[in-house]
Amino acid sequence: MQRADLDGRTAAGRVFLGRAFFGRAFLGKATVICLALIFFAAAGLAGCRARTEKPVMEVGTQQVYAPQARLYLLLCLEAFENEAGESIWQMKVGGRDAYDAACEAAYASMLRSRTVLGQLRSSQKELSGEENARIEAALAVLKDNIGEAKLASYGITDELALQYLKEDYLVSRFIGQMSYMPDSEEVERELEETFVWYENLDVSEYMQRIQMDAIFLYSGQYLDGEWVLYSQDVRENQMKKAQEAYERLTQGESFESVRAEYSELAVGEKAPCFTVGLIQSGGWGMYYKGQLERDLWESVFRVPAGQFSKVLESDTGYVIVQAISYPAAVDADVQAYAGKLETLRDEYREKITQEHAGEGIENLIDDWQEEQTVYLDEDAWRKITEQLMQEIR
């Protein structure tokens, strides 16, 4: 019962879900998520580049030059790797090659930043001494993470980097100060769509309990909330390892020893396929039927106590379940179900309200962008993307 945070539109002319380095969250829309270090990449102030240099991008009166564009992309690539490691470049993100997705995210970030900066008045560009100190500290982090030699090779001086950081901070601060009141009827409609399944289910069935252990191998990974499948070869290898684990169990090895060798879950961690329901059982190893993926209900609950299942495929990986026992439902839990559901409704209502407010702000930024003349030097941008692609492959 989890909602998708992204609407599937192309990254061009749109923004992505991100979090500003300085701690203020902001919501956007795109087919890919680029987090962490992207805050470094705001472009330099007008007048700090030689006017003889042709900009890579122009949004109204705001420009992005080649060194700035390289930094946008470089930091976006590093953010992708920080989320998933170097294996990200063998994965698909939003149905596209991960590198292409990173390039689109960097482009969207440049476009968004330039659009918002074009809305700032002079008075909104003033910073306090404390804010300037935080930007100076961010510069030290930037140089440490990227390396001074690499920054220099991209034409990024300390002066330019400080200007980038300042403008990125201004964008983040400005967006954080914006407000938007979402449509309450739309919020309630979305809330009802999410909870209608729970309001019509058999509570006694949902609250059936099982005590179990599991061997779990992932078929992909989450990148800031978006599930991204591994490549076909990697998924096949994961399934092969799960089958090997099953064969060793059938040969008499203990579930604990096989789990220790094969499972990708930390001790006490619950597999994502066992935590999708809104009402969840407390304590490790104990689960309500309704908190499992619906397609796993029948397969898991038919495993006799003391035995293990075959390899089961879930939305997020491959799992072998050992059923330990089937404790009777606790009356107090069943009686408290309605109260738990109402509490979760209130929490989810607040979550939806915040999301819609963020979407409203991002729609306003989209409107600003559509009012601007946008120019991209495609040849220059292609050279930048090809250069950095060679460095990571």
The domain locations on the chain are: 18-183+349-392, 208-328
CA trace torsion 7, 9, 15, 17 (10° rounding):
30
Q: Provide the pLDDT confidence category of residue 45 given band limits of 50, 70 and 90.
A: very low
How do residues 277-335 score in pLDDT, each as one tens digit? 888 887 779 999 999 999 999 999 999 999 999 999 999 999 999 999 999 877 777 77
CA trace torsion 206, 207, 210, 215 (10° rounding):
50
β-bridge mates for residue 58, sequence order: 63, 375
Does position 42 have pLDDT exceeding 80, yes or no? Answer: no
SS3 for the chain, per residue?
A: CCCCCCCCCCCCCCCCCEECCCCCEECCCCCCCCCHHHHHHCCCCCCCCCCCCCCCEEECCEEECHHHHHHHHHHHHHHHHHHHCHHHHHCEECCEEHHHHHHHHHHHHHHHHHHHHCCCCHHHHCCCHHHHHHHHHHHHHHHHHHCHHHHHHCCCCHHHHHHHHHHHHHHHHHHHHCCCCCCHHHHHHHHHHHHHHHHCCCHHHHCCEEEEEEEEEECEEEECCEEEECCHHHHHHHHHHHHHHHHHHHCCCCHHHHHHHHCCCCCCCCCHHHCCCCCCCCCCCEEEHHHCCHHHHHHHHCCCCCCECCCEECCCEEEEEEEEECCCCCHHHHHHHHHHHHHHHHHHHHHHHHHHHHHHHHHHHHHHHHCCCEEECHHHHHHHHHHHHHHHC
pLDDT attached to residue 393: 63
pLDDT attached to residue 351: 92
Task: Indicate the fold that domain 18-183+349-392 takes in CATH.
Answer: Triger factor/SurA peptide-binding fold (1.10.4030)
φ and ψ of 207, to 5 deg: -90, 5
The two three-digit tokens of residue 141, written as one number: 């982090």
Task: Indicate the fold that domain 208-328 takes in CATH.
Answer: Chitinase A; domain 3 (3.10.50)
φ and ψ of 364, to 5 deg: -65, -40
How do residues 118-163 score in pLDDT, each as one tens digit? 999 988 989 999 999 999 999 999 899 888 888 888 888 888 888 8
Give the CA distances from residue 376 to residues 53, 60, 69, 266, in Å, rounded to whole numbers and listed in that order.
Answer: 14, 12, 11, 46
How do residues 102-124 score in pLDDT, each as one tens digit? 999 999 999 999 999 999 998 89
d(CA 209, CA 207): 6
Give the CA distances from residue 250 to residues 43, 87, 163, 241, 303, in Å, rounded to whole numbers and listed in that order.
Answer: 60, 32, 63, 14, 15
Q: Count CA within 13 A, CB hemisphere, residue 122.
A: 0
pLDDT attached to residue 30: 34
The pTM of this model reads 0.65
CA-based nearest residue to 338, from 290, 281, 279:
279
